Amino acid sequence: MNPWIPSAAFSVAVMISGFGPQTEKADQPILKDAFGTHFLIGGALNDDVVAGKDPDAALLVQNQFNTITPENVMKWALIHPEPARYDFDASDRLVAFGRKNTMVVIGHTLVWHNQTPGWVFEDGNGKPLDRETLLERMRDHIHTIVGRYKGTVQGWDVVNEALDEDGSLRQAPWMKIIGEDYIARAFQFAHEADPEAELYYNDFSLENEPKRNGALALVRKLQSQKIRITGVGLQGHYKMDWPSPMQVQTTIEAFAGLGMKVMITELDMDVLPDPTGHQGADLSIRAERREELDPYTGELPDSLQFALAERYAELFRVFVGQSDKLSRVTFWGVYDKTSWLNNWPVRGRTNHPLLFDRNYRPKPAFLAVIKTGTREK
């Protein structure tokens, strides 16, 4: 299909987009209703949304979503900044916000190589920690956090991004010090702390075959060891031309074939020129800002609004078609202004990756997505 031909969804979106923030319109379509019979739908929240500093965003979340994930506040550096100090202020706020609004709360993330302070991997003299002490530190961290939210956080991204693009295990400090069973142990500790919680492996670029095969092998290995793993998160940091709908479908089917719940956990769409060629969300990959890399500092041109709407629609058609295998679709953010993609892989650009624009207004992509849910009910 030619993406440049305006769709009906676009025309309607253009008509309503002059109304300003679409947070209180009684007749506004609602994502959680459109996909109610298919899967949960939600967003990653930063603390401003939860703490009352971005009330329009909070209203959007309350109106549109039925599941939330903390974008940052449960990461090790924030929730456990020093060896003997946990800071639960922001994470408690997020969980309370979710409960108050009867939303499914997801925990993100217990074991990752990013935003984990250096001290975690060192002894008191700055030397690398030994395996047993690091395992004990991991156990304490997971038991403390999962234990605190037992019964209130429904599922946890237990291990995040443990694989390289070729499907081999990333040489993260966890891997170097503990060895490859750090993954099994993390899942074990989480299961001990909350036997009812769903436990996920979460990663990007699993739509690419080599990495997908690595993740499938990882799941099979945990299953053969009788370790509880209940789901796999496909992060969904996508581009306009990657991955193809077929790659997404194949990936969902592959993990579901192992009995996994599959989730799209961090969905967004990078519309800006890509100076890196990287397919995914590896934070170590960065590029310098140049003017030609930041072409849409005002409104996104109509032609690109169409293309974005069509792109989201083609993906959601796959999600709806696979909804017997897919339990949740979570966007990585709420609206364009606060998306992490304004600062990665190039700092300080104006990106347009979500369904709501910088003024909290639904973009044509919003209605295009809504249509895929309601049409096929």
The answer to whether residue 170 forms part of the interface with ligand G3I (CB under 6 A) is no
| Catalytically annotated residues | 161, 266
Q: How far is the CB of 49 from ligand G3I (least distance, A)?
A: 12
CB nearer ligand G3I, residue 101 or residue 115: 115
Element (H, E) at 250: helix 245-256
Q: CA separation (Å) from 358 to 11, 21, 41, 354?
A: 20, 10, 20, 10
The answer to whether residue 266 forms part of the interface with ligand G3I (CB under 6 A) is yes
The answer to whether residue 350 forms part of the interface with ligand G3I (CB under 6 A) is no
Query: What's the CA gap between 82 and 118, in Å, rounded?
Result: 10
Which two tokens mark 18? 């002059």
Query: What's the CA gap between 362 and 272, in Å, rounded?
Result: 19
CB nearer ligand G3I, residue 204 or residue 306: 204
Which of 282, 342, 271, 281 has the alpha carbon at shortest distance from 311? 271
Which two tokens mark 41? 């739908």
Q: How many helices (H) and strands (E) does the chain have?
A: 13, 9
Sole window of 32-40, 71-79, 148-156, 269-277 interacting with ligand G3I (rule: CB under 6 A): 71-79
Number of residues near ligand G3I (by CB under 6 A): 11
CB nearer ligand G3I, residue 246 or residue 285: 285
Residue 122 phi/psi, 5° resolution?
-125, 155
- Which string of x and - marks every residue 269-308 that binds ligand G3I (by CB under 6 A)? ------------x-x-------------------------
Sole window of 22-30, 70-78, 172-180, 212-220 interacting with ligand G3I (rule: CB under 6 A): 70-78
| DSSP annotation string for 312-376 | HHHHHHHHHHTTTTEEEEEESSSSGGG-GGGSSSSTT-----SSB-TTSPBPHHHHHHHHHHHHT
CB nearer ligand G3I, residue 70 or residue 364: 70
Residues 212-251 binding ligand G3I (CB under 6 A) are 235
Q: Which residue in 63, 101, 115, 323 binds ligand G3I (CB under 6 A)?
A: 115
Q: Which residue in 174, 189, 335, 340 binds ligand G3I (CB under 6 A)?
A: 340
